[in-house]
Structure 1
Amino acid sequence: MTLADTNTPQRTRTASLLRLARKNKLSAFGLLMFTLIVLASIFAPFISPHDPLDQNILDRLQDRSAEYILGTDTFGRDTFTRILYGLRVSLMIGLTSTFLAMVLGCSLGIIAGYRGGWVDSLIMRVMDMLLAFPTLITGLFIVAVLGANFVNIVLAITVTILPKFARVARAPTIALKEREFVEAARALGYSDIRIMAVHIAPNILGEVVVLASLWAAYAIRIEAYLSFIGLGVAPPTPTLGTMIRDGFNHILDAPFVSIYPGFAVLLVVLSLNLVGDGLRDAIDPKLRD
């Protein structure tokens, strides 16, 4: 096998995965749902005529109406509008932290698996230390120490899921570094960095992307947890977790204040899980039809 030949199977496998993903109806539904959620959050100013920060105390805790599609919160702000803008924050934090964790974690995992020896032991022991603490506790500690803002929340969530990517990337790297095309690259004098980036990373990308879609949902849940306990993005910026917390005191007389943003979190997490399950079925040969 030549080095040029390694790209053709990769393209073929990618096309095969796309075909298999399209056959999975639930995965297609999840992808459609997630796409609509993203588009709704992007075009929020054009979808809702209200401002997410405008308060009208006279209209507080109103149920659904022609003017307020999902009612209003404790300050008379339009719940539907705030959900759309809150989705922006949740998606930006969740997807950004997952992408950073994927890049950094996979890089560390590939380096550990490829180099082996003390490098492998050092990297993986650090990852094991991070995994030893519950992810939510780790996120709480980082945000509490550094302060609650967008950057620190992204950093906290990135640190909590980074070790998972490192462990996933390390195992296949150990097997791939003994393959013929990697040996050929070494014989041609290619550097270790090029071998890891060009010949190993693309071959583990499929499995990593599947897990990234699942852990993106987890990252969004973590952001909602942090916001719910007051360690999210500072008010008055709308976030789904903050909206759920604000309506908690009125859960008996106006439950819709918390239910609607909670349902929005559910839809985002469900859509990402459906996409991840479809990609997993497409990649795993034991689950193919």
Structure 2
Amino acid sequence: MSERIQQLLKHIDFTALEEVRLRRGRPLLLDFGTQQQFITPAGRLCQQEGAGYVVTEADIERSLVLACGGSVYACQEQLRHGYVTVNGGNRIGITGSAVLENGEIRSLKEISGMSYRFARQVRGAADQIIDSVLRGGELHSTLIVSPPGCGKTTLLRDLARQISTRGYKSVIIDERSELAAMAGGVCGYDVGVRTDVLDACPKAAGMMMAVRSMSPQAVVTDEIGSEEDVEAIRSALRCGVCVIASAHAKSAAALYRTGGRELCALFDVFITLSKRRGSGTVEEVCSLDSLCACDGGEKKIC
């Protein structure tokens, strides 16, 4: 963030802070998970948006340069996907005007907003669901489902660590460098001693690379959903490799009902998260059989 905004935030308790939103010409917004607050030009938290510090064009421009390590040009590949990942696995979402080439987004210009999401390792985040993933003494393909910002990545990270401690070999396909936060070939988070990482690698290609070269028992990846992802998961399963992944939807049942049946059919266990009691609240754990059985009816918990 710009030096001016860093100065405003220097007395804020970052342990509870989940996200900082910069929107050009609008008040700086802080999201603490259970509440959102503004911050005054004097650095005090407040509830009144009219009293909040208004983000300037200079704030946005300087923040973007800092996020890109001094070279916006070097980050064009990430920017065209609407984000930049910085050290520690923290992802900065970027909005602005799309630059198109042959109907595809090539970059962003006139940046209007930046969303700083703070990644954290939460040991024990997967305690509540690990027995379902390892039900009957076997590793089961698992899909973690929630709307954005509900703790899917944090849960995946700890799940990778926990299956490692139980003796399973896995490979993390970390397309956005958030799960393992690799830097210089070293993991920034503890993802387990039996876990390998393919960093900044497209998910579908990475899954195939991992299966062919690393003999994993599980592949772990974040935010799946494309047809290419589905085919890669299907190929991994045919090779006898479990897949542990996440997807965006209100719930597993909602994903199943709204065009996700083909994707859901590839998994055995479904975890639905929310922010009802803070990020990472486990709302439901169910099997594929119960998900199919409850289509249009009452949900069953396994």
TM score, norm. by length of structure 2: 0.25
TM score, norm. by length of structure 1: 0.26
Between Structure 1 and Structure 2, the one with more strand by share is 2
Q: Could you say which structure has the larger radius of gyration?
A: 1
**Quick one: higher RCO (CA 8 Å, sep 6+), 1 or 2?**
1
